[in-house]
Copies of this chain bind each other. A is one copy, B any other.
Amino acid sequence: MHFGIISTGPISAEFSQAIKFTDGADISAVFSRNAESAQAFIDQQQLQATAFDSVEALCASNDVDAVYIASPNSLHLSHALVAIQAGKHVVIEKPAVWNPAQWDQVWGAAEKHKVLVFEAARHIYEPAQKIVRDYLVGKKPKTVRLNFSQYSSRWDAVEAGEEPNIFSLKTGGGALVDLGVYPIYDAIYWFGEPDGVRYFPALAPTGVDGAGTLVLVYKDFNVIITIAKNAHSDAPSEILLGRETLRLSSVQGIDLVTEYTAGDEQVLFDSKATPGSRPLSELMRFEAEFFCDMIQAHLEGNFDEARVNRYRSLTLLSRSVNEVCTNARYTAGIFFENETLEISG
């Protein structure tokens, strides 16, 4: 099966590398606003692909079965709709869209046009996730503390009075949507939808959240998610279960999973890599393989019940994550450009 790629940024390069390790899949088309950039990307990544400077043209190509969308977040919606209306399956980088209204537009269009849409939540396809999910069966969490704090060099620009995209309300930036999406996916994947959500942002001068803490309230416990793009932390994430605690090296790209008590410790998963050192392309192979299997099966009319169910649960998960993330943002008073109009309209 053949992927068309929208945008030629670093994440698209990683995805191209990941696809190279996926049997039966390749990149056949690359879009950039100017064709030269698209061709440069093709050359650099050593792809057998056609360069496009029109999203519509790429999506109309018969050489494209599915479109991978990694354009700036604020363009995901329109690019996804073009691809879907052209009858292409779609993989959208996370966060896929800004809010549930946009989400419903995209997934609604996909249903109408009988194509698949995936949000590229790469980390839930990692091998460590199965270890964690299996471990949690029958367990009752007491408290869950997730941490994703990664200093962005663009924060320096914010402190200098500028407004880079990832810290701008115009382009849907901020810590919650950029980093929060990972631990929110984890939490809902592991524990289901929370009963309540409360977000405590630390606002940047640009109006987005430079850091923040999200509390997901469940019946018998809380999930506390701390995220920061203006600060760094290597502290692990933890699921406290009583005498035992499950320690994860991180909320994504999980390299080490350990169960420990006051006196003992047991490694349940070890990627053998230095924590945090694996390249993105390696971490993206798991999702790439999964998306290709699903899309290939669909193309061949072989989308069986197991795949139907898996697709449905991933769709519900993506919707829940979007809703939690958006509710958290709105109740904290963080609205992206024109978003207030959308709501009141």
Contact = CB atoms under 8 A, between A and B. Distances in A.
Given A143-B149, A143-B211, A211-B143, A233 B240 contact: yes
Interface in A200-239: 200, 202, 210-213, 215, 217, 220-222, 224, 226, 228, 230-236, 238
Contacts of A231: 142-143, 240-243, 245
Contact of A232 (B145, B151, B261): B261
A262 interface: yes
A245 to B, nearest CB: 5
Contact of A228 (B143, B147, B230): B143
B242 A230 contact: yes
Interface residues of A, number: 40
Nearest to A153: B243
A20 interface: no
A275 to B, nearest CB: 12
Nearest to A145: B226
Nearest to A224: B213
A103 interface: no
A202 B143 contact: yes
Interface in A305-334: none
A240 B228 CA distance: 9
Interface in A90-149: 142-143, 145, 147, 149
A2 interface: no
A142 B211 contact: yes
A18 to B, nearest CB: 25
Interface of A: 142-143, 145, 147, 149, 151, 155, 198, 200, 202, 210-213, 215, 217, 220-222, 224, 226, 228, 230-236, 238, 240-245, 247, 260-262
5 contacts: A142-B231, A145-B147, A202-B220, A224-B224, A231-B241
Given A224-B226, A233-B240, 10 more contacts: A142-B202, A143-B149, A143-B231, A145-B226, A151-B243, A211-B240, A228-B240, A231-B241, A235-B236, A235-B238
